[in-house]
Amino acid sequence: MEGVVRFSRFEFYGDDQQGAWGTVWHVNGDGKAVLRFAEDFHAVNGSALEVILTESAEPARQEIVEGYKLADLKAPEGTQEYQIPSDIELDSYRTVAIYGRDLNAVWATAELPEIFPDPAPTPMYTKEELIHMDPAEVGETGLPITPVEKLDRTGRPREINIEKYRLVVDGAVENPLSLSYEDILAYPEKTDVVLLICPGFFVDNAQWSGVPVSLILEEAKPKPGAKEVHFHAGGYRSVLTLEEAQRQGTYLAHHVNGQVLPAEHGFPLRLVAEGVYGSRWVKWLDRIEVLE
């Protein structure tokens, strides 16, 4: 997205019930700075809500109560923009909060990452070097985030009827699962920047958001003899050991760079496996099979 400086996703705050979801962008362009709520934004109705800015990354409730009120929420869902006054240095604010003042309830907060200094850090490797490296040995790269429109594409997108879509989890498990897309979105979410290396061809560095595979497997309860996890999409299959599948960096992505996963990049779900070559990151995932 042209002009994007920072972006984040709304998450629950403290012990308050989450009442707002979606992506918020800090965008500079056309001589102005704005906060933009993406198409996936939605909030509960029935309460006057405020858009609050705070300087702290993890603000206390009182800081939100006394924070800078940017505006009243324009709409309970969908794309909307809030212009930043010229006398406000948005760069100094780290958190956007959706606050219901009449109920003293924080519906959600989104921590905006720090802006890179000018100039941005020099990457530790070039992409030409990275395409010949083992992702398990790379570590920190210093690479900038690859915009969604510039992510490399492989394979032909599958047509998915999201209303009928189910992720099946079966095989050597005690509790087989059949999960709808909404079921998947209800799981606790993990967001991280993970490097994808397609050896000899390309490198993408993107922020992926989704559900840790470990949570899915915990619910399915692999049997004592389980050793492998097979990830299926139509006739394609990728295999991880049970240990690899349960790692913190292995998850089912449904968003990339704060956007709903595009069809060409695996909608509704794509396997993300940190430290594993991108050829094993199955797109259009529809089945997880545990084998002994």
Beta bridge partners, 96, equal 53, 110
pLDDT above 80 for 160 = yes
Give the CATH number of domain 4-111; options: 2.60.40.200, 2.40.50.100, 2.40.160.20, 3.40.50.300. Answer: 2.60.40.200
Nearest to 290 by CA among 173, 115, 133: 173
Cβ-based burial of 21 (10 A; exposed 0-12, middle 13-18, buried ≥19): buried
Cα–Cα distance, 73 to 71 (Å, whole number): 6
Q: What token pair was written down for 28?
A: 């500079």
The helix (run of H) or strand (run of E) holding residue 244 is helix 242-245
Beta bridge partners, 51, equal 71, 98
Rounded (5°) CA angle 92-191-204: 95
Over the stretch 24-62, which tens digit does the pLDDT of each residue have? 888 876 667 889 888 778 888 666 899 999 999 899 999
Residues 125-140 have a mean pLDDT of 87
Residues of the chain with pLDDT > 70, as a percent, come to: 93
Residues 73-91 have a mean pLDDT of 86
Fold of the domain spanning 127-291: Sulfite Oxidase; Chain A, domain 2 (3.90.420)
Q: What token pair was written down for 204?
A: 């993408």
Q: What is the DSSP letter of 59?
A: -
What does the CA dihedral 143, 149, 151, 152 come to, rounded to 10 degrees?
-140
pTM for this entry: 0.65
pLDDT above 50 for 2 = no
The beta strands (E) that lie in the chain are given as 4-9, 20-21, 23-29, 32-37, 42-43, 49-54, 68-72, 80-83, 95-100, 105-111, 167-171, 177-179, 190-198, 202-212, 228-233, 236-241, 250-256, 259-260, 270-273, 287-291
Residues 213-225 have a mean pLDDT of 96
Binned at pLDDT 50, 70 and 90, residue 17 comes out as confident
Structural domain spans, the chain:
4-111, 127-291
Residues 98-121 have a mean pLDDT of 80
Residue 211 near residue 252, CB atoms below 8 Å: yes
Beta bridge partners, 76, equal none
Q: Is 72 helix (H, G, I), strand (E, B) or coil?
A: strand
- Residue that is written with structure tokens 């079921």 in the block: 183
